[in-house]
């Protein structure tokens, strides 16, 4: 049976063109919400901020881009940006030639936010669906032995890490990749935990509170 991917859509995206394509795809369940941050929540675990070329340029000029990036990193969801526009769209922008690459470097290296490129709303819709499929695949891989005894230590470790507050399959994988063991993860100071992609200050604080509370 095919997995159904739920995508929560911010109401401001109603006329983006993305919804038209998502609505025509199989195994997609759409739900509307007023999102304070981000435009799309996929599979309940990843949040995407979509920006057209013009949106991206405007957010650099009025200095909203990095405040938005900061808010995204503070969420318990795994955040990412989608840049949407053709080469002609980007070339037509009234930006200094270095503005876009500097912004991308800041988003990816400073805020640790993935930035995906798309030329059209249709490609953006496909990116969201691909993300949902990969997230579901990872989750299913981790929970494969949920009703039976796990055969590998790594699977057991990932399952244990997903019991931490705000930690889903994707974050469990990144925590184990970074720390190498559950012991190192739960003993890590909050300052180190919050640097792990997708964790952020709130989830790091929740983990430390669980581990240290009596």
Domain boundaries, the chain: 5-138, 144-212
Q: Give me the percent of the chain exceeding a pLDDT of 70.
A: 93
Report the distance separating Cα 170 and Cα 174, nearest Å: 6
Residues 123-137: pLDDT tens digits?
A: 999 999 999 988 888
Phi then psi dihedrals of residue 118, to 5 deg: -145, 145
pTM over 0.85: no
Residue 47 pLDDT class (50, 70, 90 cuts): very high
Residue 162 pLDDT class (50, 70, 90 cuts): confident
Q: Count Cα atoms within 13 angstroms, Cβ side, for 194.
A: 16
Residues 6+ apart with CB under 8 A from 57: 93, 94, 95, 99
Identify the weakest region by mean pLDDT among 16-30, 142-156, 190-204: 142-156
Q: Which fold has domain 144-212?
A: DNA polymerase; domain 1 (1.10.150)
Q: Facing residues of 82 across strands?
A: 50, 116
Q: Hey, how many other C-beta atoms are within 10 angstroms of the C-beta on 115?
A: 17
Q: According to the model, what pLDDT value does residue 1 have?
A: 47
Q: According to the model, what pLDDT value does residue 2 have?
A: 66
Q: Facing residues of 33 across strands?
A: 10
Residue 3 CA from chain centroid, whole number = 19
Whether 146 has a pLDDT exceeding 60, the answer reads: no
Structure-model confidence comparison of residues 61 and 141, the more confident one: 61
Whether 69 has a pLDDT exceeding 90, the answer reads: yes
pLDDT, mean of residues 30-54: 93
Rg (CA), the chain: 19
Report the distance separating Cα 145 and Cα 31, nearest Å: 30
Q: Which CATH number fits domain 5-138: 3.10.450.50, 3.30.70.141, 3.40.50.10130, 3.30.43.10?
A: 3.40.50.10130
């Amino acid at each position: 049976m095919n997995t159904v991917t739920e995508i929560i859509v911010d109401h401001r995206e109603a006329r983006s063109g993305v919804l038209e394509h998502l609505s025509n795809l199989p195994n997609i369940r759409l739900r509307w919400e007023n999102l304070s941050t981000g435009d799309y929540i996929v599979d309940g675990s990843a949040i995407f901020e979509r920006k057209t070329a013009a949106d991206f340029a405007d957010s650099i000029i009025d200095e909203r881009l990095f405040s938005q990036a900061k808010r995204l990193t503070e969420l318990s969801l795994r955040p990412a940006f989608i840049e949407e526009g053709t080469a002609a769209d980007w070339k037509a922008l009234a930006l200094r030639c270095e503005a876009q690459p500097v912004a991308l470097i800041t988003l990816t290296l400073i805020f640790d936010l993935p930035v995906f490129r798309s030329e059209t709303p249709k490609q953006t819709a496909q990116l969201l669906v691909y993300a949902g499929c990969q997230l579901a695949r990872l989750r299913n891989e981790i929970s494969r032995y949920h009703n039976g005894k796990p055969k590998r230590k790594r699977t057991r470790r990932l399952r244990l890490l997903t019991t931490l507050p705000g930690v889903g399959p994707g974050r469990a994988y990144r925590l184990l990749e970074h720390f190498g063991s559950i012991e190192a993860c739960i003993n890590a100071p909050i300052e180190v935990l919050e640097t792990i992609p997708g964790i952020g200050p709130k989830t790091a604080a929740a983990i430390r509170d669980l581990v240290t509370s009596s």
